[in-house]
Chain A
Amino acid sequence: MAYQLYRNTTLGNSLQESLDELIQTQQITPQLALQVLLQFDKAINTALANRVRNRVNFRGSLNTYRFCDNVWTFVLNDVEFREVTDLVKVDKVKIVACDGKNTGSNATE
């Protein structure tokens, strides 16, 4: 099963909100919504792996780090993200990273 990691993104959250609205109006069942989300997980994982081909560099100072259940969570401060085209600076950023090896056992939770 693909990582559910990407549900907390703009794309994923807007999908979840839309599904919630349909559940509210009882146009779909929660079970069906869950199936849709699982399908979304697969689709986004595939898309990112195959359709994206760009590279980003970043530099900053590490505020906190955590490694639990094979998931790294970092909080960085005063970070600069650099791409070929542009530069983005943020005061604070949280990075959540799942294991990139193809085990993908992060299905639940």
Chain B
Amino acid sequence: MASSANSHPLPKLYKSVIEDVINDVRELFLDEGVDEQVLVELRTLWESKLLQSKAVEGFHNDEHQQVLQAQREPVQVQQPPQQNQNQQVIPPATQQVPQQQVIVQDSKILQHVNASGMSAAATAATLALPTGVGPYQQLVTSQGQVLQLMRVPNGTQYIIQPQQHVVLQQQVLSQMQPGGVQGPVIQQVLAPLPGGIPQQTGVIIQPQQIVISGNKVPPNTQVSTQSPTCVQPQAQQQPPVVQPPVMLQVDGTGDTSSEDEEEEEYDEDEEEDKEKDGGEDGQVEEESLNSEDDVSDEEDQELFDTENVVVCQYDKIHRSKNKWKFHLKDGIMNLNGRDYVFSKAIGDAEW
């Protein structure tokens, strides 16, 4: 224990500060009538932000990282207890199948389509991920691929497979009626990957009425059997619509209209090229126009560079001609993104 304290004095210090602060404000919270739960949440937020900053090495090192790893290994889509949200497409029932398959819904409703041998992309696509899932989640599919799920506030979800560079787009229409059958829940557009996905190039779930409520047994088998058959003919039709491999769509739902817009843009580019070849005057104007569009790289570098800061108290500051001497104490430093502390610091500088 002592050796660990010497090698990583900072995490212990920070933890002890957090402890002290939390304990000291507990009374304040109670006086204000604020629930203890909020205090716990404050602590959790605080510690997680510290972890995220990576400024402290070995903060919550062993315990927390083990917990984090343990959370990633078992295949779980995190289902936060947000059961009250009406926008949730699927009733919040997270279940784990011993075969480590990703199951999001109740077992009666939509079973994991792994049996049909679909690819990871298809598998995740059929899951109709709820909107209640947090903004950034990781899915581990049955084939052990780690998909990253991004949820954009407008309700569209994107699944990014880092390996295969496939960007799947899922739209979960949150048209849930309490206790009723939902309308077409899932639309999907897939970018086919040549040679990327071993078995099938994609899955298209046609707008069907997928019954999510617990009353009826949905046409589950229909979904699983229809989709393979649907894929192939449509996959053949889709190759001409090849989209660039890694495409993060930031705007709204992916419709065919977007394809039309892209075609229009290509035409405009061709026209601009012709104009450039035509006249020098046009060329000059366009250059000056283009130069204004440039964002200087320096700004980005400045933004990403850590401002190295030392916050401390001074015992004595001394100057002789242009030679300065600093006697400092009780400081916290952030250098190159990492945190350091000192009880005493002595420095020299020339001005």
Question: Which residues does A use to contact B, with CB under 8 Å?
Answer: 3, 5-6, 8-11, 14-15, 17-19, 21-22, 27-29, 32, 35-36, 39-40, 42-49, 51-63, 65, 72, 74, 76, 79, 81, 83, 88, 90, 92-100
Contact = CB atoms under 8 A, between A and B. Distances in A.
Q: What interface size band does chain B fall in?
A: 35 or more
* Pairs A-B, 4 closest by C-beta atoms: A14-B49, A18-B45, A100-B313, A62-B349
Interface string B82-126: 000000000000000000000000000000000000000000000
Contacts of A45: 330
B62 interface: no
Interface of B: 9, 13-14, 16-17, 20-21, 24-25, 28-29, 32, 34, 38, 41-42, 45-46, 49-50, 53, 55-56, 307-315, 317, 324, 326, 328-336, 338-351
A57 B42 contact: no
A46 B24 CA distance: 13
Contact of A96 (B16, B312, B345): B312
Nearest to B306: A90
Contacts of A40: 17, 21
A61 B347 CA distance: 10
A72 B317 contact: yes
B16 A51 contact: yes
Contacts of B347: 57-60, 76
Contacts of B16: 47, 51
Given A18-B49, A52-B330, A81-B333, A95 B312 contact: yes
Interface of A is mostly: mixed
Contact of B332 (A9, A14, A53, A54): A9
B329 A100 contact: yes
A61 B343 contact: no
B33 to A, nearest CB: 10
A49 to B, nearest CB: 6
A36 B334 contact: no
Contact of A28 (B34, B334, B335): B34
A88 B340 contact: yes
B25 A35 contact: yes
Given A97-B328, A100-B329, A51 B342 contact: no
B314 A93 contact: no
B350 A47 contact: no
A81 to B, nearest CB: 6
A6 B313 CA distance: 10
B335 A81 contact: yes
A3 B25 CA distance: 18
Given A5-B312, A10-B332, 18 more contacts: A11-B332, A14-B46, A14-B50, A22-B42, A28-B32, A28-B38, A28-B42, A36-B42, A39-B25, A43-B17, A49-B343, A56-B346, A57-B347, A76-B349, A88-B335, A90-B308, A94-B309, A95-B328
8 contacts: A28-B32, A48-B330, A54-B341, A55-B346, A76-B347, A88-B335, A88-B338, A95-B328
A100 to B, nearest CB: 4
A8 B24 CA distance: 21
Contact of A65 (B53, B324, B331): B324
